[in-house]
A = this chain, B = another copy of it.
């Protein structure tokens, strides 16, 4: 037991420092050192991986193999064993040669994807993606699944999730969103989105972003805010969580909602109980739950009336010229503008999920062998037209836009919509359990919401699996009802449907 805990801690420490190095490479490292830097980080990552799949780990895990041995474990240790066991078994299953070949392929595929996107040349990327899909189909057979090969992919990002569970949920979300979008398009009301077609000084934006962070609950003594082209959150430990954003003079929304989004990830990590420090449990429990916390803060809170009741007068102080004559409710409507667009990461709260549906359906069909890579551009465009009513003129704005497939991240995209679904379901419980929280936010008091989230979700880190956690918090399994209701209610009001 002592040896297991020590090994778990050692791997966790290696991972923490690797995470720091990853952050540093993106945020701090000067360009001329990056090549050699990457080699050093690679060495560290490899060592951590070797420890996690070592004979020593295998032997230690064996001791907990019997039902009776497991029953003796306290809840925390049992969860540590569970996490290490899962990783050990999954990693051990892929033969070393196969894994190496796959790693080389994804490195090459990433370069090919970059080239293809830049030159709008899907056929250049297609052979790499075909090989990746072949590998993924093989991996699915090796990992095993009950009904659908895509289940093995989903499981990597959202443990316990299956196509069987997800299909009806995503169908409902898709149909609701398509119907709602149709109504919005037919509405004669237009939000005053043109207020964002102005320049907002970057220095003032920086000040405003730093101003809001501590108020919404991100502790700057236990974290940092820096700048990168692609914003992200990285936790070193619960007292050191680093988020990034990017400032665009032409697009004040980019930094604003980017910062709030990453702060959602960051607050989750900051609130994890320090008893999990130095263990495999010291991190959010899944991609979907993590995304639920960022989406919750970005959309359910950050795009709410009560949020801007408090913050809009402050924003006007920072940008008196740009916002002259714009009322708080107009601003609220403007930040909730719905407008079909080609690029997922720029999509609004409603159409975002439709971008995910396109990818989900394609990945599922690819894994099932019902679709081949060369058919992707056509299928992509067809689905875009069907769900969003627009067709990209170039593959670079369509099937080539995202990096995920190039690194083999099939099964990753659903996490984003899962985040939205979890968030709405959690919001519903919050409304019941913390009545009046909106009035507190309108006063700038985020403690009732954050305390509740910490108490019900954040503190547990990876102690509970996502499917268990969502039932503990909301007393029901994941479903699409709450997000559908939330979207319908929100946009019916905004667009006066």
Tell me which residues across on chain B come within 8 A of A24, comparing CB atoms: 20, 24
Q: How far is the CA of A37 from the CA of B238 in the complex (A)?
A: 10
Cross-chain contact A240 with B33 (CB below 8 angstroms): yes
Q: Copies of this chain, how many?
A: 2
Q: How far is the CA of A486 from the CA of B278 in the complex (A)?
A: 55
The answer, yes or no, to whether A223 is at the interface (CB within 8 Å) is yes
Q: How far is the CA of A107 from the CA of B462 in the complex (A)?
A: 34
Q: How far is the CA of A335 from the CA of B35 in the complex (A)?
A: 40
Tell me which residues across on chain B come within 8 A of A161, comparing CB atoms: none
A224 touching B36 in the complex, CB below 8 Å, given contacts A17-B44, A44-B17: no
Look across to chain B and name the residue whose beta carbon is closest to the beta carbon of A27.
Answer: B28
Q: Mark A17-52, 1 if CB is under 8 A from B, else 0.
A: 100110010001111111111011101100100000
Q: How far is the CA of A10 from the CA of B50 in the complex (A)?
A: 14
Look across to chain B and name the residue whose beta carbon is closest to the beta carbon of A18.
Answer: B17
Q: How far is the CA of A20 from the CA of B236 in the complex (A)?
A: 14
Q: Is the interface of A mostly helix, strand, loop or mixed?
A: helix
Tell me which residues across on chain B come within 8 A of A239, comparing CB atoms: 30-37
Cross-chain contact A14 with B33 (CB below 8 angstroms): no
Look across to chain B and name the residue whose beta carbon is closest to the beta carbon of A223.
Answer: B30
Interface centre among A29, A32, A47, A274 (most CB of B within 10 A): A32
Cross-chain contact A237 with B44 (CB below 8 angstroms): no
Cross-chain contact A36 with B222 (CB below 8 angstroms): no
The answer, yes or no, to whether A13 is at the interface (CB within 8 Å) is yes
Cross-chain contact A40 with B21 (CB below 8 angstroms): no
Look across to chain B and name the residue whose beta carbon is closest to the beta carbon of A219.
Answer: B32
The answer, yes or no, to whether A439 is at the interface (CB within 8 Å) is no
Cross-chain contact A277 with B237 (CB below 8 angstroms): no
Cross-chain contact B17 with A236 (CB below 8 angstroms): no
Tell me which residues across on chain B come within 8 A of A238, comparing CB atoms: 33, 36
Cross-chain contact B36 with A277 (CB below 8 angstroms): yes
Q: How far is the CA of A44 from the CA of B278 in the complex (A)?
A: 13
Cross-chain contact B17 with A278 (CB below 8 angstroms): no
Q: How far is the CA of A298 from the CA of B262 in the complex (A)?
A: 43
- Given contacts A13-B44, A39-B278, list 9 more A-B pairs with CB under 8 A: A13-B39, A17-B17, A30-B223, A31-B221, A32-B239, A33-B238, A35-B239, A36-B238, A40-B278
> What are the nearest 4 A-B pairs in CB distance?
A33-B240, A33-B239, A32-B239, A13-B40
